[in-house]
Amino acid sequence: MNEHFDTPDIGAADPALLRRLAEALPAAALLTGAAIDPRYQFDRRGRFSATPRFLLRPGTTGELSIALRLCEEHGQPLVVHGGRTGLSGAHRIATGEAVLSTERLTALGAVDAAAGTLEAGAGVALQAVQEAAEAADLMFGVDIGARGSATIGGNVATNAGGIRVLRYGMFRAQVAGLEAVLADGTVLSSMRGLEKDNSGYDLRQLFIGSEGTLGVVSRVLLRLHPRPEAEANALVAVPSVEAAVALHDRLRRLLPSTLSAFELLLDGAFEGALAHMGTPRPLSTRAPVYVLCEVQAPDAAGEARLAEVLMEALEEGLALDAVVSQSRREFLALWALREACPEFVRAHDGILGCDVSVPRGRMAAFLTAARAALLPIDPATLFFVFGHIGDGNLHYVIRTADRAAAAEAIYRQVAAHGGSISAEHGIGVDKKPWLALSRSTAEIAAMRRLKAAFDPRAILNRGRIFD
Ligand SMILES: Cc1cc2nc3c(=O)[nH]c(=O)nc-3n(C[C@H](O)[C@H](O)[C@H](O)COP(=O)(O)OP(=O)(O)OC[C@H]3O[C@@H](n4cnc5c(N)ncnc54)[C@H](O)[C@@H]3O)c2cc1C
């Protein structure tokens, strides 16, 4: 049984529906029984959910439209699966649901260099888009650790963020056009890629970040960016979170067009990631806070400017120590340290990971208050906090004996400091109990009205975001 859902067991799949699906779709698009790989039943963290009634794998928008229409007519609830790397539990199967996977929607178009766009099917992996852009001497603006498995459709549905949001924006900013299919099979296609189109509502925006509750994204026209000629990063030891925020503000002021990432690692996450990787310390100085920043510049002068600005920060005591990458190998090694943070925390039991955001100016106060609230719950709490400080986004990860009480304490502190209980991973199922801390009653009511308008029988991702 799936402990996360109240959905009653509504019996086996309707044979009439299965018959109609089998008649209308190619064999590869419908799997039942033992033909369904068990992997769909487990989430990213290895938690079992439920056995799907059947598995739909449409290979075209037309097949997707037919599959949705028939399921809607028979009232068959569906959970949409992309790469299943989501961290909010949304793709865990509820009892009675069938899985709709985008794994066969993998058409990847050619890069349109003149327009700076690339068309991708919903099931294309993010990394494939990045590589296609690079092959055309362009770049894609979003990068996340799960790039090899996460799909473009999943990225749209979660409005994925990642490490370069401060330069390129969230996934929403990468979408030049979008096609989505509603629960009743209606295809809404807006793939012209027009910069300006104020002819009524911009319906595309509704699907971005809607976590599969309003429709299934089938194709996306993605914006590409000029590839930087020079890239460099630096690891900086700083005396406090306040100093990290001040350093961020200074870099943004002095390197406005080249600063592309500014990541924060508190000492617990930094030391843990180092130990996990088994690599030597890149900096001899020990500090409570570390920053990993990156510039992407049109020429080598941009790299040199980063070193100059950091040197000034060192002289003024804003930074305690710094190392600037001098080669591609060093550049990648510093990023590997940052990417080791989630791997390191996943290797522990009793971990609670909260993806939250707070206004940058209140980040230090939030961290102090959250710690003060958590230690009485479990004095042995271990803190492994890291995040994208440029966007006020913290991955507030702790090891605690009481995860439920700790989560409540963290989200209440987030709300008290004007933040959001979900910065980039969405609400899914896991964060539903706290949605009202970030959204007003009126906002949630408006979301429900949208859901009812787009999916009146609630067949798509039922019980995700809200009940
Ligand atoms: C190691 C690691 C690092 C990560 N780093 C980041 C990060 O830096 N930033 C970040 O934002 N996230 C990050 N994530 C979370 C995750 O990778 C993103 O949420 C990603 O966008 C999910 O894509 P997916 O294809 O795996 O979607 P899934 O997990 O399959 O689905 C996620 C949600 O989207 C829905 N969905 C999927 N495809 C579609 C579609 N075609 N149409 C409609 N709905 C759909 C699902 O039903 C579900 O609600 C990370 C995850 C891991 C494991």
pLDDT tens by residue, 89-117: 999 999 999 999 999 999 999 999 999 99
Nearest CA to ligand 1 atom 19: 86
What's residue 415's pLDDT?
97
What's residue 46's pLDDT?
78
Q: pLDDT tens across 129-178, in order?
A: 999 999 999 999 999 989 999 999 999 999 999 889 999 999 999 999 99
Give kind and range of the element (H or E) at residue 265: strand 259-266
What's residue 178's pLDDT?
98
pLDDT bin (cut points 50, 70, 90) of residue 302 is confident
22's tokens: 């089998």
Any ligand 1 atom below 6 A from CB of 61: no
Which ligand 1 atom sits closest to the C-alpha of 153?
A: 41
CATH architecture of 117-226: 2-Layer Sandwich (3.30)
Question: Listing from the earlier edge strand, what are the strands of the sheet with 55-56?
Answer: 30-31, 55-56, 98-101, 78-81
Nearest CA to ligand 1 atom 21: 155
| Cβ within 8 Å of residue 384, ≥6 positions away | 266, 268, 269, 272, 341, 344, 345, 351, 397, 398, 399
SS3 content of the chain, % helix, strand, coil (to 5): 35, 20, 40
Q: pLDDT tens across 234-266, in order?
A: 999 999 999 999 999 999 999 998 999 999 999
Strands 78-81 and 98-101: parallel
Nearest CA to ligand 1 atom 7: 162
Domain 230-344 has CATH 3.30.70.2190: yes
310's tokens: 């950091």
Return d(Cα 211, Cα 465) in angstroms, integer. Answer: 8
What's residue 6's pLDDT?
41
pLDDT bin (cut points 50, 70, 90) of residue 47 is confident
Kindly tell me if the per-residue pLDDT of 295 is higher than 70.
yes
Any ligand 1 atom below 6 A from CB of 77: no
Kindly tell me if the per-residue pLDDT of 10 is higher than 80.
no
The residues pairing with 314 across neighbouring beta strands, listed in sequence order, are none
Side-chain-side CA neighbours of residue 315 (13 Å): 6
Question: Residue range 20-47: average pLDDT?
Answer: 92
Mutation test residue for ligand 1: of 40, 56, 85, the one with most atoms within 8 Å of CB: 85
Sorted by where each begins, the domain ranges of the chain are 15-104, 117-226, 230-344, 348-429
What's residue 4's pLDDT?
42
Q: Are domains 230-344 and 348-429 of this chain identical in fold?
A: yes
Residue type, 286: R
CA distances from 236 to 167, 316, 318, 333 (A): 20, 14, 10, 14
Give kind and range of the element (H or E) at residue 272: helix 267-277
What's residue 11's pLDDT?
60
What's residue 274's pLDDT?
95
Domain covering 15-104, topology: 3.30.43
Kindly tell me if the per-residue pLDDT of 324 is higher than 70.
yes
Kindly tell me if the per-residue pLDDT of 185 is higher than 90.
yes
What's this model's pTM, rounded to 2 decimal places? 0.94
Smallest CA-to-CA distance from 54 within 76, 83, 74 is with 76
CATH number of the domain located at residue range(s) 348-429 in this protein: 3.30.70.2740
What's residue 300's pLDDT?
83
Kindly tell me if the per-residue pLDDT of 9 is higher than 50.
no
Mutation test residue for ligand 1: of 124, 144, 460, the one with most atoms within 8 Å of CB: 144
Q: What 3-state class would DSSP assign to 177?
A: strand
CA 246-334-302 angle, to 5 degrees, is: 60
Q: Are 181 and 55 in contact (CB under 8 A)?
A: no
Return d(Cα 130, Cα 140) in angstroms, integer. Answer: 5
What's residue 7's pLDDT?
41
Residue type, 173: A
Dihedral (Cα; 415, 430, 385, 160), 10-degree rounding: -90
Nearest CA to ligand 1 atom 28: 84
Distance 450 CA to ligand 1 centre (A): 22
pLDDT bin (cut points 50, 70, 90) of residue 350 is confident
Any ligand 1 atom below 6 A from CB of 161: yes
Q: Are 219 and 464 in contact (CB under 8 A)?
A: no
Question: Residue range 444-461: average pLDDT?
Answer: 97
Phi, psi of 322 (to 5 degrees): -155, 150
Return d(Cα 51, Cα 56) in angstroms, integer. Answer: 14
Which ligand 1 atom sits closest to the C-alpha of 145?
A: 3
Residue type, 62: G
Kindly tell me if the per-residue pLDDT of 198 is higher than 50.
yes
